[in-house]
């Protein structure tokens, strides 16, 4: 007799979804009154994108969204996480609303509704309006926070009658800490032209962005036509105990607490900063300007926490000042076609568990991204047998199931991503999709993983 655990059955209301980002799939960058984003300008810089490409056309989702939603529905997907391009709906970032841009998202949302798919709208997925960069250097100014909150309120007014699930910020470390360290370079992610002077200035961009998050949470709730739920999407930089001994678990938890983008995550979860971090930042001159009132806004209560999980770092207890050390992976360790994505399914489990334990967080969790870049070659019969992606998804979803079995409230899983798309610095050379896109013809071809995911959704268990 097969036990419930062995069959990996999921709760009846588990949310099976897919995720995307506007600049990576939409195209139509000069259509419908859309203004430039920082990524439009960044892609035009010679050498910034390793393949010399851009998101000007991407998956042409701007024109093909109806067919893409039908594809989504054919897989049985009932939840779709997408992002709104700020520069499409408010071209200069803080001026007049572009009705044509809002209408695109309105039509997309209506189309999702026609197919029984729940929209989950992300307000910021790295594509800040270029106009704000030119007006006041974007995240370097506190004006970004108030402009972002205004944008959030306007979207709630215009779309909140049909969208009740919102996400504010996606992966803050990528465009604040990393972006402002590298600036306008191929390592700069989403901060072209914004290399700043020192670590204190980098920390200040985190403060401004988190203030924007807190003010946006308030604006969404104040302006939505219906009760809504608001979340934050984080990529904590996961610590995984090399073995589940008390000493190694303690070491990994300590590393998580100290290395999970403290300036963003601690205020988000507690409305404050840990004393040890303030003392350290003050001593080394990196403490940003932030008041207790601002920290409280940064900690505006959220309804759920989103986790983007791809990989993790193995950790063990050590006899040193930190009490832990990272464990390097050997050359033959399983990896992907991207050098930073080594396979570590346990990272998903520990990311949710540590976020819960370190911060006593009792609200629900969503796995808002989890995906694999494969080689995706066609067979002689015209199929893409991406077995490594199926193995990846099955391995990570086992960890989702473990969390649920242990009582952690994980509501859903959003695979990254349905369509192959513009993968930021890698252009079109890295394919995360379950559906292959021919970027010359825009033909869509479901891969083996798409069929596997559809059957998993249909049976509501790992198959």
Is the alpha carbon torsion for 237, 366, 190, 389 positive or negative? Answer: positive
Place of tokens 């709208």: 121
Distance CA 331, CA 366 (A): 32
Active-site pick, 294, 369, 388, 423: 369
Distance CA 109, CA 440 (A): 27
Cβ partners under 8 Å of residue 459, min gap 6: none
Angle at 165 between CA 159 and CA 167, to 5 degrees: 95
Q: Is 291 exposed, middle or buried (0-12, 13-18, 19+ CB in 10 A)?
A: exposed
Beta-bridge partners for 89: none
Relative to beta strand 313-317, strand 324-326 is antiparallel
Cβ partners under 8 Å of residue 311, min gap 6: 238, 340, 341, 342, 343, 344, 347
> Could you check whether the bond before residue 338 is cis, i.e. omega within 30 degrees of 0?
no
Q: Is 377 a catalytic residue?
A: no
Alpha-carbon 116 to chain mean position: 23
Question: In what helix (H) or strand (E) does residue 118 lie, and over which residues does it extend?
Answer: strand 118-124
Cβ partners under 8 Å of residue 23, min gap 6: 37, 39, 55, 58, 85, 125, 126, 127, 422
Half-sphere exposure of 76 (CA within 13 A, CB side): 14
Active-site pick, 171, 300, 388, 423: 171
Distance CA 446, CA 439 (A): 15
Q: Is 171 a catalytic residue?
A: yes
Residues tagged active-site: 171, 369
């Amino acid at each position: 007799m097969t036990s419930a655990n062995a069959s990996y059955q999921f709760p009846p209301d588990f949310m099976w979804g897919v995720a995307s980002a506007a600049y990576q799939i939409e195209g139509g960058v000069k259509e419908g009154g859309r203004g430039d984003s920082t990524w439009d300008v960044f892609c035009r810089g010679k050498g910034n994108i390793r393949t010399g490409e851009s998101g000007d056309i991407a998956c042409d989702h701007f024109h093909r969204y109806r067919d893409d939603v039908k594809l989504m529905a054919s897989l049985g997907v009932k939840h779709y996480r997408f992002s709104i391009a700020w520069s499409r709906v408010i071209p200069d970032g803080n001026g007049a609303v572009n009705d044509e841009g809002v209408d695109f998202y309105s039509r997309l949302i209506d189309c999702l509704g026609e197919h029984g798919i729940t929209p989950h709208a992300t307000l910021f997925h790295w594509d800040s309006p270029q106009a704000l960069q030119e007006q006041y250097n974007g995240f370097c100014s506190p004006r970004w926070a108030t402009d972002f909150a205004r944008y959030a309120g306007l979207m709630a007014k215009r779309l909140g009658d049909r969208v009740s699930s919102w996400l504010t910020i996606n992966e803050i470390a990528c465009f604040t800490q990393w972006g402002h360290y590298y600036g306008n370079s191929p390592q700069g992610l989403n901060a072209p032209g914004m290399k700043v002077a020192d670590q204190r200035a980098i920390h200040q961009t985190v403060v401004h962005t988190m203030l924007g998050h807190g003010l946006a949470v308030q604006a969404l709730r104040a302006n939505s036509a219906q009760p809504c739920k608001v979340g934050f999407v984080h990529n904590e930089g996961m610590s995984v105990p090399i073995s589940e001994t008390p000493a190694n678990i303690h070491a990994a938890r300590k590393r998580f607490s100290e290395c999970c983008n403290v300036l963003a995550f601690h205020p988000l979860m507690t409305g404050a900063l840990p004393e040890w971090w303030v003392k350290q930042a003050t001593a080394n001159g990196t403490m940003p300007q932030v008041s207790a009132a601002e920290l409280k806004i940064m900690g505006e209560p959220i309804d759920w926490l989103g986790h983007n999980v791809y990989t993790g770092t193995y950790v063990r207890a050590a006899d040193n000042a930190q009490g832990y050390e990272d464990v390097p992976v050997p050359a033959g360790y399983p990896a992907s076609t991207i050098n930073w994505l080594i396979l570590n399914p346990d990272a998903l489990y520990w990311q949710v568990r540590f976020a819960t334990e370190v911060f006593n967080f009792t609200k629900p969790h969503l796995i808002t991204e989890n995906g694999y870049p494969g080689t995706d070659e066609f067979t002689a019969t015209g199929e893409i047998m991406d077995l490594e992606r199926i193995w990846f998804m099955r391995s990570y979803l086992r960890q989702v199931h473990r969390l649920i079995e242990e009582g952690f409230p994980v509501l859903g899983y959003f695979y990254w991503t349905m369509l192959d798309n513009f993968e930021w610095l890698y252009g079109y050379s890295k394919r995360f999709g379950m559906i292959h896109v021919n970027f010359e013809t825009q033909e869509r071809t479901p891969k083996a993983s798409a069929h596997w995911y559809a059957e998993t959704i249909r049976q509501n268990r790992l198959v």
